[in-house]
Amino acid sequence: MDSSYFTSADYNVLNSPPNQAVQEVADKLHELHRLMYRRMRDRNWDLHPHWDKSAVITAQSAACSSEIQGLALPYLRSKEQRQLVERLMGRDGQGTASTSDIHRHPVIELRLTPTHFAIELILSPFAWWDQRNLLGKLSVDRHRHTLRGLFGEIDGDFRFGFWEGTELSDMHLTARQVLRGNVLDEWMGTFSDGQDWLRVGVWYELENPALNTDAILSEMLKRLSSLHRLYTFMLWTSNNNFQSFYRTYPTVRGKELNSF
């Protein structure tokens, strides 16, 4: 019988203050990162571990403002793109690779807590440059259609919503529910950029067979592939720049946008 990559004991030690046992769990997550990242580079995915190499595995999650009782592994834009975006946000010279806040950028995060393992795409309200770029993009009909198509390509067990925190909120939709009628447009019409945490991901219960030692790498790469397509759609770049649409079209589905 296959064994889980993260054991029940691994989850339990995360309830304790940082100690050698917690470090051993972090080492297992780092080994998973090492195996995944090699394959991510082979696929030419423009995703990178934290720019500060000492923070590749951290207790700071992109899903909330405070440290978590657990471990997180974030993948983000490149250091050069980080610097460019933060200059555009008016933060020129206010951060270095070792201190820059991941909350200001879209993140694909793997997260291990005492209750679950999760992989999700997160845009915090502090990533307002990318959030309002997304809203500008969604003011164009064909891009709303593209986003629907991306949700149609991912498994139905993905969860989508606008909450903060590491636990799965009851206020979420599955990928299947998002595609019903005008549900996606209606939900995005309630999204408050600069206030809401936009997120799409999968939450695994403990001992889920997909997290068995011989399955977890392929499972994470499959999920990363789906999230990477959404990430690329949402991420601001010079070739994916809809900031002027945000300013020119002050409403999305009749909802007034916040200004910054």
- Domain ranges, ordered by start, for the chain: 8-256
Q: How confident is the model at residue 258 (pLDDT cuts 50, 70, 90)?
A: very low
Three-class SS of 21-58: HHHHHHHHHHHHHHHHHHHHHHCCCCCEECCCHHHCCE
The whole-number average pLDDT for the span 59-82 is 94
Residue range 82-140, pLDDT digits in tens: 999 999 999 875 544 444 589 999 999 999 999 999 999 999 999 999 999 999 999 99
Instruction: Produce one character per residue of 134-148: b if its CB has 16 or more CB atoms within 10 Å, e if not.
Output: bbbbbbeeebbeebe
Q: What percentage of the chain carries pLDDT values higher than 90?
A: 81
For the chain, the residue count is 260
Whether the pLDDT of residue 165 is over 80: the answer is yes
15: left (phi over 0), alpha (psi -120 to 50) or beta: alpha
Distance CA 252, CA 180 (A): 19
The whole-number average pLDDT for the span 183-187 is 93
Closest CA to 73 of 47, 98, 95, 55: 55
The whole-number average pLDDT for the span 65-89 is 94
Q: Which residue has the tokens 């909350």?
A: 103
Give the count of beta carbons closer than 10 Å to the beta carbon of residue 202. Answer: 23
| pTM of the model as a whole | 0.91
Give the count of beta carbons closer than 10 Å to the beta carbon of residue 190. Answer: 10
Residue range 218-257, pLDDT digits in tens: 999 999 999 999 999 999 999 999 998 886 544 444 444 3
CATH code matching the domain that covers 8-256, chosen among 3.30.930.20, 3.40.50.10490, 3.40.190.10, 3.40.50.150: 3.30.930.20
Cα distances (Å, whole numbers) of residue 218 to 35, 83, 206: 10, 32, 18
Average pLDDT, the chain: 89
> What share of residues in the chain are helix, strand, coil (percent, to 5)?
40, 20, 40
Distance CA 47, CA 45 (A): 6
